[in-house]
Amino acid sequence: MRAVVQRVSQASVSVEGSITGQIGQGLMVLLGVEVGDTEKDAQYLGDKIAKLRIFADDEGKMNRSVKDIDGGVLLISQFTLLGDARGQNRPGFTQAEAPERANALYIACCERVEGHGIPVARGVFRAHMEVSLVNDGPVTLLLDSKKQF
């Protein structure tokens, strides 16, 4: 399971012109579910997202989590994170999990973050979404439940 985590001052997602999820200060997360991922991968990333200390403390050091700042998480499923364009210009998505299984693990990850007492706004699974965000810093991290990065 892969995630792109961005520290934001605000973020939203819209489907067909209607906002389906939005947050103020917090984390905007794009999540890709890979073939073979399990509930354990969803738990690992959910915990990591909740506990990442990438918000400034009183001394300006990245030492606070999204919960510490009373922020929210906008979590959006994005299978294209599993795209492989190494040998060609058109990416292949054979490593992306089948939609039904991917959605179940996406939901499990959202629920794991919520279990830490953090509000989670969501995108709409398999919909064409428009995402808007203000990246704060900018701070962007890549996470992988198999620790490949």
Q: Which one of 38, 80, 93, 140 is the catalytic residue? A: 80
Establish whether 10 is a catalytic residue. Answer: no
Mean pLDDT on 93-114: 97
| HEC readout, 33-70 | CECCCCHHHHHHHHHHHHHCCCEECCCCCEEECCCCCC
Mean pLDDT on 49-67: 97
Establish whether 78 is a catalytic residue. Answer: yes
Rounded to the nearest integer, the mean pLDDT of the chain is 96
Q: Indicate left, alpha or beta for 44 from its phi (over 0: left) and psi (-120 to 50: alpha).
A: alpha
Q: Is the pLDDT of residue 148 over 80?
A: no
The pTM for the full model equals 0.95
Q: Which one of 6, 43, 55, 78 is the catalytic residue? A: 78
Mean pLDDT on 84-99: 94
Cα–Cα distance, 85 to 106 (Å, whole number): 24
Percentage of the chain exceeding pLDDT 70: 99
Local structure of residue 3 (DSSP, 8 states)? E
CATH number for domain 2-142, candidates 3.40.50.720, 3.40.50.150, 3.40.710.10, 3.50.80.10: 3.50.80.10
Mean pLDDT on 22-38: 98
Q: Which one of 79, 94, 95, 149 is the catalytic residue? A: 79
- Write down the domain spans for the chain: 2-142
Nearest Cα residue to 33 out of 149, 144, 147: 144
